[in-house]
Structure 1
Amino acid sequence: MPAYPDARPHEIAASLGALPAGTPASQVARRLLDLFTDGTIPPGTRLPPERQLAASLEVGRSAVREALAALEILGVVDVRPGSGTYLRGAASELLPQTLRWGLLIGERSTTSLLELRAGLEIYVARLAANRVDAAQRERLAKHLDRMRDSVTDLGAFARADQDFHHVLADAAGNPVLLDQLHVVRSLLQVYADRAVGDEDAARVALGEHEQILAAVARGDEDGAASAMAVHMTTATARLQREVAP
């Protein structure tokens, strides 16, 4: 893997700046992620040694070590014994790990995640109405037919529902938005199979998806966003009932 010449690690370390005294490893990781995702450091770059990072951030080496270990678990860096620590992936590829890290180290709230997902899905629908192509419209219609055929088979209905949303996100044509939505969906996956609890709820969801596709197919951005907002309101309410104590 390529690595910068010796002068470069000093530049990387100097660009970090000091952190407040007593900052935990999570804050070290956040600062490193800010640097890694700004697009200035190519994949494969060898990072400065722990002692240099610790000195630049004005924290103990243990905090740097813990932060790098956590980033390695997330797939952001590659720690090679005897060689050093290397950055993995380009900035856009690191975004899902970055968001996931930020969500998991904080005080995660399912309600907040549901609100975030709703906002992302509504904007996806708006973009898709303007950017969808014929092949994607056909795939959306196919998944809608699957939903229609499986209102009494809730597992199959949920899979068709998810496939519909995945195609819609692809049609939006914004890879950064898609990355963020993928992470939020992953964090809410534990509830996905219970999103529709009975046939009546499935029929309501089916009607909502029909409205979304109709608006997207006619290129109605406002209509698609409004239809998705209606769907997100009912879907969020169902999921909140699932997580209620």
Structure 2
Amino acid sequence: MPAYPDDRSAEITAALGVLPSGTPVSEVARRLMDLFTGGSIDPGTRLPPERQLASTLGVGRSAVREALAALEILGIVDVRPGSGTYLRGTASELLPQTLRWGLLIGRKSTTELLDLRSGLEIYVARLAAARAEASARSALAASLERMRADVADLKAFARADLDFHNALATAAGNETLVDLLHVVRSLLQVYADRAVHDEDEARTAVAEHDAVYRAVEAGDEDAAASAMAAHMATASQRLAAEAAAR
């Protein structure tokens, strides 16, 4: 195991502050995570004991215990019985888990998630058109061909569709953007897997993806963004309809 930094309990508790009476566990976890991802605490730092955190925050030990348990599940902290609780990773390494937690507890509506996904996908398409290397363009072409071949097999089609978008995000060359898109897509995936209902809808989606691919292949940023905007309009309608039907 790595050597852990010197104890910084006093510094950590001083930075937390007191929470209002009756604060829910989710807000306790959010306050802790805001501190952990601020960049001021080194990976591997041992956190203050539960009783000290509870006293500082003005909440019960059970709330702190549950918050830390949730953060451990997300990979934010490492709880070691008999030793203590330690921070995992740097702020940037914790970003994907932080984004997922924030979206999950924020009660975001499907409509808001669809709006966010559309904006991100359009920007990704623009970046991909400007930055895609030959290998990335080949991956896009391969995914598109699989989509064409699988219009009658909607499960396989959905996998090829997702692979196309993942390849596009990789081509954009921005790992933080990829992380954020992954979180948003995963929250919508329960609808996305069933959003295309028949071959006609699948063929429409293929045509829309083909327009994005052709723009990326040509290095035309405006055309790529426009093509993705058109695709997102129809895709969001399908996803919203699927969500409303549940």
TM bracket, shorter-chain basis: over 0.9
In the aligned structure 1, how far is the partner of 2:124 from the partner of 2:56?
Answer: 41
1:179-217: CA deviation from partner (whole Å, max 9, x where unpaired): 111111111121232121111111111111111011111
In the aligned structure 1, how far is the partner of 2:209 from the partner of 2:52?
Answer: 54
In the aligned structure 1, how far is the partner of 2:109 from the partner of 2:3?
Answer: 40
User: 2:202 is paired with a residue of what secondary structure?
Assistant: helix
The more displaced of 18-27 and 133-142 is 18-27
In the aligned structure 1, how far is the partner of 2:242 from the partner of 2:178?
Answer: 26
In the aligned structure 2, how far is the partner of 1:133 from the partner of 1:28?
Answer: 44
With the length of structure 1 as denominator, give the TM-score of the two structures.
Answer: 0.94
Match of 1:2? 3
Alignment of 1:5-84 (within 5 A): 5-6=6-7, 8-84=8-84
Superposition deviation, residue 89 in structure 1: 2.3
Q: Which amino acid aligns with 1:3?
A: Y
User: 1:91 is paired with a residue of what secondary structure?
Assistant: coil
User: 1:89 is paired with a residue of what secondary structure?
Assistant: coil
- Structure 1, unmatched stretches of 5+, are none
Q: Say whether the 8 Å CA contact 2:39–2:90 is kept in structure 1.
A: yes
In the aligned structure 2, how far is the partner of 1:47 from the partner of 1:2?
Answer: 14
Superposition deviation, residue 68 in structure 1: 0.7
With the length of structure 2 as denominator, give the TM-score of the two structures.
Answer: 0.93
The more displaced of 129-138 and 52-61 is 52-61
- The root-mean-square deviation of aligned C-alpha atoms, in Å, is 1.5
Given the alignment of the two structures, is residue 104 of structure 1 paired with residue 112 of structure 2, yes or no?
no
Percent identity reads 71
- Structure 2, unmatched stretches of 5+, are none
Q: Say whether the 8 Å CA contact 2:6–2:45 is kept in structure 1.
A: no
Q: Say whether the 8 Å CA contact 1:215–1:224 is kept in structure 2.
A: yes
In the aligned structure 1, how far is the partner of 2:52 from the partner of 2:221?
Answer: 51
User: 2:3 is paired with a residue of what secondary structure?
Assistant: coil
Superposition deviation, residue 174 in structure 1: 1.0
Q: Say whether the 8 Å CA contact 2:215–2:223 is kept in structure 1.
A: yes
Match of 2:141? 141
Q: Which amino acid aligns with 2:67?
A: A
Given the alignment of the two structures, is residue 88 of structure 1 paired with residue 88 of structure 2, yes or no?
yes
In the aligned structure 2, how far is the partner of 1:128 from the partner of 1:2?
Answer: 41
Q: Which amino acid aligns with 1:143?
A: S
Q: Which amino acid aligns with 2:158?
A: A
The more displaced of 154-163 and 228-237 is 154-163
Match of 2:200? 200
1:68-123: CA deviation from partner (whole Å, max 9, x where unpaired): 11111222111111100011222222112112212222324222222211111111
Superposition deviation, residue 40 in structure 1: 2.5
In the aligned structure 1, how far is the partner of 2:193 from the partner of 2:59?
Answer: 44
In the aligned structure 2, how far is the partner of 1:52 from the partner of 1:117?
Answer: 40
Q: Say whether the 8 Å CA contact 1:2–1:45 is kept in structure 2.
A: no
